[in-house]
Amino acid sequence: MELPTRTFRVTRADLVRYAGASGDFNPIHWSDRTATKVGLPGVIAHGMFTMALVGRAVAEWAGAPDAIVDYNVRFTRPVVVPDDDEGTEIEVSAKVREVTEDGLTRLDVTAVCGGEKVLSQARATVRTAR
């Protein structure tokens, strides 16, 4: 079973807000000059911000944030965020891999930006409502 795709728009303003909340002011998240100097294609979203957006989608599918029992990902590609008003989009989808006898649902999660997967081995386990 596939769960409905959830799309999140990410702009440079989102990165500034996340930097303030997280304390991660690494210039690769706000300066094109620095990002390209270190070999990136441009300013990139914080990995943990990307992971948080995917976690939000999982929580919505599960019906509540506290229904998430386990959640892990590997970062495979950066989410490049252009310096314009549109930003970029991350599309999150998931497939139910297993429903256990003890009421847990295991999900294989996919996050895509610009047609490329940005996470691999993204998996979540959620408590199924009884």
* pLDDT, tens only, 39-62: 999 999 999 999 999 999 999 999
pLDDT band at 38; cut points 50, 70, 90: very high
Residues in CB range of 99: below 8 A, 6 or more apart: 105, 106, 128
**Nearest one of 48, 47, 67 to 107, comparing CA atoms:** 67
pLDDT score, position 79:
98
pLDDT score, position 128:
78
pTM over 0.85: yes
All domains of the chain, ordered by start, with CATH? 2-127 (3.10.129.10)
pLDDT score, position 25:
97
pLDDT at 130 exceeding the cut of 60: no
* pLDDT, tens only, 114-128: 999 999 999 999 997
Token pair, residue 47, equals: 């990995």
* pLDDT, tens only, 54-88: 999 999 999 999 999 999 999 999 999 999 999 99
Question: Three-state SS for 4?
Answer: strand
Q: For tokens 């795709």, what's the residue?
A: 5
55 close to 125: Cβ distance less than 8 angstroms? no
Amino acid at 116: E
